[in-house]
Amino acid sequence: MILRPFVAFGLFSIALVSIAVFAGGCRRSSDPNAVKILNVSYDPTRELYEEFNRVFAEHWARQSGQTLDVRMSHGGSGKQARSVIDGLEADVVTLALAYDVDAIRRKAGLMPKDWQSRLPNNSAPYTSTIVFLVRKGNPRGIKDWNDLVKPDVSVITPNPKTSGGARWNYLAAWGYMLKRELGDLSKLHDPKSADAVAKANEKAKEFVKEIFQHVKVLDTGARGSTMTFVQRGIGDVLLAWENEAFLSIHELGPDKFEIVVPSISILAEPSVAVVDKVAERHGTRAVAEAYLKHLYSSEGQTLAAKHYYRPRNAEGVPEEYMKRFPKVKLFTVREVFGGWEKAQAEHFNDGGVFDQIYKP
């Protein structure tokens, strides 16, 4: 009968799929002296971690005798957090903002509530800020945030819903307007000027809305936006991470772009954390913790500075790196927006201010 071969074939194919599904899912490490960790990071850190991983692997080999293999995954910060929540086996996460790391704790419970106090400086070993990247000679004369809404200026930024960097962009613009309206950001916490604050917030909303009306392309991640601006030649100004802006100039030549530093910007604190539950299951907690701690060492800080992240501790970092960072007035999310939890709920969640901007 026709049955037999078909049954055999059918069973064979089902077996093949199951083997693939189950074997592929199991983690095996044959060499007891080899250890592997997965660092799930956001878009612009590729170059930094490529070098840091090499340096740390040497350091770890000296310290413990183990050969370390750090694997990387990059993407938009929100998307990466989502992947970890859904089961991506990250031993450590190094994301664009504390909110995304916290989402992993809230949604999947993979780390304790106090994760942010386990490492110095709010668990952010390096900082950055938001600057403007413009075409050589700054043909549109963009100097500060209010120049973004001049007629005919087209702005490139990623989508704040999916990109961490874009959320910093958005909040930086908002903060600029508050500062301009209030003169002094400390008024935000003064109950007597509540009316003025409410008015300033209205103004800021209008301002941010206007900026987004000048946005031509809304990529899902910071790197996508950079590519749109530098490779495709779209837009007059890119709102970018400082490190991303420096990197584009470094990669594509200083004859094409220049950086404009606005009068005031936001202190961006990209957060790092060990994903406890995963690291414990893999037995990699020690190496994962050492990995993140090493970011705070002078070697780690130097590498961060080399890749255009502002180090927390300039001691031991060569002057040639430090002098690249322009002085700029920075405010924090906590002082202006009352922390990420609040900023996220108010501005970026579904139905929040950002969605209202795009309401017809």
Partner 1 sequence: MTLKQHSILPGFGLTMGFTLFYLSLIVLIPLAGLLLKSATISWDQFYAAVTDPQVVASYKITFGASLVAASVNAVFGLAVAWVLVRYSFPGKNIVDAMVDLPFAMPTAVSGIALTAIYAPNGWIGRWLDPLGIEVAYTQLGIMVALTFIGLPFVVRTLQPALEDMDVEIEEAAASLGATRLQTFVRVIFPAIMPALLTGFALAFARALGEYGSVVFISGNLPMKTQIVPLLIMTKLEQYNYAEAAAIAVVALGASFAVLLFINIVQWWSRRYAA
Partner 2 sequence: MKHTENIRCRAAAATTESRWVRWLLIGVSLTFLGLFLAMPLAAVFAQALSRGWAMYVRSLGDSDALSAIRLTLLVALIAVPVNTVFGVAAAWAIAKFQFFGKSVLITLIDLPYSVSPVISGMVLVLLFGRQGWLGPWLEARGIHVVFAVSGIVLATLFVTFPFVARELIPLMQAQGTEEEEAARLLGASGWQTFRRVTLPNIKWGLLYGVILCNARAMGEFGAVSVVSGHIRGETNTMPLHVEVLYNEYNTTAAFAVASLLALLALVTLVLKSVLQWKTGEQLTPEEQGYTGD
Binding site residues, partner 1, CB under 8 A: 1-3, 6-7, 10, 76, 78-79, 82, 85, 103, 107, 159, 161-162, 215-220, 228, 231-234, 349-350, 355, 358-360
Spatial CB neighbours of 152, under 8 Å, sequence gap ≥ 6: 140
Residue of 62, 61, 102 lying closest to 78 (CA atoms): 102
Question: Which residues partner with 170 through β-bridges?
Answer: none
Distance CA 318, CA 324 (A): 11
Distance CA 255, CA 230 (A): 12
Residues 262/245, Cβ–Cβ less than 8 Å: no
Instruction: Report, in Å, the least distance between residue 341 CB and partner 1.
Output: 15
β-strand pairing of 264-266 with 329-331: parallel
Q: Residue 72: name its binding partner from partner 2, partner 1, none (Cβ under 5 to 8 Å by kind).
A: partner 2
Residue 360: how many other CB atoms lie within 10 Å: 2
Per-residue mark of binding to partner 2, 182-221 (x: CB under 8 A): ---------------------------------------x
Instruction: Report, in Å, the least distance between residue 241 CB and partner 1.
Output: 19
Rg over CA atoms, the chain = 23
Nearest to partner 1 of 32, 233 (CB atom):
233
Nearest to partner 2 of 253, 338 (CB atom):
253
Residues 262/96, Cβ–Cβ less than 8 Å: no
Q: Residue 76: name its binding partner from partner 1, partner 2, none (Cβ under 5 to 8 Å by kind).
A: partner 1
Q: Residue 155: name its binding partner from partner 1, partner 2, none (Cβ under 5 to 8 Å by kind).
A: none
Instruction: Report, in Å, the least distance between residue 338 CB and partner 1.
Output: 21
Q: Does residue 9 belong to the site contacting partner 2 (CB under 8 A)?
A: yes
Mutual angle of helices 285-296 and 46-64, in 10-degree steps? 120
Per-residue mark of binding to partner 2, 240-259 (x: CB under 8 A): -------xx--xx-------
Nearest to partner 1 of 48, 103 (CB atom):
103
# binding residues, partner 2 (CB under 8 A) = 45
Which residue type, as a one-letter code, is found at position 258?
Answer: E
Q: Which residue has the tokens 């209010």?
A: 146
Residue of 206, 210, 166 lying closest to 343 (CA atoms): 166
Q: Where are the beta strands (DSSP E) in the chain?
A: 34-41, 67-73, 92-94, 126-127, 130-135, 155-156, 215-217, 237-241, 257-260, 264-266, 272-274, 310-311, 329-331
Q: Residue 169: name its binding partner from partner 2, partner 1, none (Cβ under 5 to 8 Å by kind).
A: none
Q: Residue 154: name its binding partner from partner 1, partner 2, none (Cβ under 5 to 8 Å by kind).
A: none
Residues near partner 2, by CB under 8 A? 1-6, 9-10, 12-13, 16-17, 20-22, 24-27, 38, 40, 43, 46, 71-75, 83, 85-89, 107-108, 221, 223-224, 227, 231, 247-248, 251-252
